[in-house]
Amino acid sequence: QKEVEQDPGPLSVPEGAIVSLNCTYSNSAFQYFMWYRQYSRKGPELLMYTYSSGNKEDGRFTAQVDKSSKYISLFIRDSQPSDSATYLCAMIRSGGGADGLTFGKGTHLIIQP
Amino acid sequence: DTGVSQNPRHKITKRGQNVTFRCDPISEHNRLYWYRQTLGQGPEFLTYFQNEAQLEKSRLLSDRFSAERPKGSFSTLEIQRTEQGDSAMYLCASSLSVGANNSPLHFGNGTRLTVT
């Protein structure tokens, strides 16, 4: 079992829908959680960075962390075709060592106009 | 542009040749990381520097790989005697580490290596 599990998709939804992307993890030492968006042939772009359990909102994006269930989510409201990309979850162990940044495989999201 | 810059964007080389990639991090960031990403996978950690010191190397980093950050600013990643399995996107990232606090990593757009 990998430390971070993420469904690779593809996930295809119509424009305007609410999108839910998820990751599960097995190591309770993970304390910092990030979501990155990656367009084809580009580097990952940081979307959200959270530490504690609960919700964090930024515009159309909401990140949710449930440490008790070892489950994190990213919600996208009013989805746009420009949101079509691969979304990577990433997490760091407490202490912040570089080897602790572990990525999921990424979910390929397609927003249909 | 104040983001992480990587050069070249693409590199095609023949098996057995040496290649070198360059990364210029965000100027105030003291940490610099190298990752490798293959199709359909998330980035995998290779190595990182704090200022000019290389503090961590992954077991993925074979003896054919070497990274430097001589003045604590830009970094180079060299692959000697390239193999077809080295074909991947090589990503550089940087962050600011102060005490126990480490800012999130900011990535460049990568160098795509194709070994023929």
pLDDT per residue over A29-83, tens digit each? 888 899 999 999 899 999 999 887 889 999 999 999 999 999 999 999 999 999 9
Task: Return residues 70-109 of A near B (CB < 8 Å).
Answer: 88, 90, 92, 95-99, 101, 103-106
Number of H helices, E strands in chain A: 0, 11
Per the CB < 8 A criterion, the answer to whether A48 and A63 are in contact is: yes
DSSP 8-state code for residue B9: S
Reduce the DSSP state of residue B75 to 3 states and report it. strand
Reduce the DSSP state of residue A95 to 3 states and report it. coil
Q: What is the largest distance, in Å, between two alpha-carbon atoms of chain A?
A: 43
φ/ψ of B86, rounded to 5, equals: -80, -10
pLDDT in the model for residue A2: 77
Contact between B106 and A106 using a beta-carbon 8 Å cutoff: no
pLDDT in the model for residue B1: 53
Q: B112: pLDDT confidence band, cut at 50, 70 and 90?
A: very high
pLDDT per residue over B4-23, tens digit each? 999 999 999 999 999 999 99
pLDDT in the model for residue A64: 96
CA distance B100 to B88: 32
Nearest CA in chain B to A104: B42
pLDDT in the model for residue A96: 56
Question: Half-sphere exposure of residue A34, counting CA atoms within 13 Å on the CB side?
Answer: 22
Per the CB < 8 A criterion, the answer to whether A63 and A76 are in contact is: no
